[in-house]
């Protein structure tokens, strides 16, 4: 098997790095917004934490489904489709 061209490896690392960054940015933004949610809505801190958890639970629920779809259709194709959204 021939090694992948240097440009291909750089592209793969770049795309996966951007995907990881965007995923982490999304969840981190929710954590950072919790104090503002508490102040704006006039609710206690536990209620704001429930909001954060309610935001993150669908990600955990959908993950096994996406893994199965990746097995069926190809992980690369699914990653590119997700990044395209």
Closest listed residue to residue 79, CA positions, set 7, 8, 19, 9:
19
pTM above 0.75, yes or no: no
- Determine the pLDDT at residue 64: 94
- Determine the pLDDT at residue 67: 92
8 Å CB contact between 22 and 85:
no
Return the domain boundaries, the chain: 6-84
Sign of dihedral through CA atoms 40, 46, 49, 54? negative
Span 7-55, pLDDT tens digits: 788 888 888 898 889 888 877 888 888 888 888 888 888 888 888 888 8
Other CB atoms within 10 Å distance of the CB of residue 76: 11
Residue 73: which pLDDT band, with cuts at 50, 70 and 90?
Answer: very high
What the block records as the tokens of 76 is 């690369």
Task: Give the end-to-end CA distance of the chain in Å, rounded to a whole number.
Answer: 34
């Amino acid at each position: 098997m021939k090694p992948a061209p240097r440009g291909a490896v750089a592209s793969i690392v770049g795309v996966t790095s951007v995907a990881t960054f965007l995923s982490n940015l999304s969840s981190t933004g929710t954590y950072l917004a919790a104090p503002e949610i508490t102040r704006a809505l006039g609710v206690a801190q536990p209620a704001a934490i429930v909001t954060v958890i309610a935001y993150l639970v669908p990600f955990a629920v959908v993950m096994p489904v996406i893994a199965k779809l990746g097995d069926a259709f190809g992980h690369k194709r699914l990653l590119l489709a997700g990044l395209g959204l």
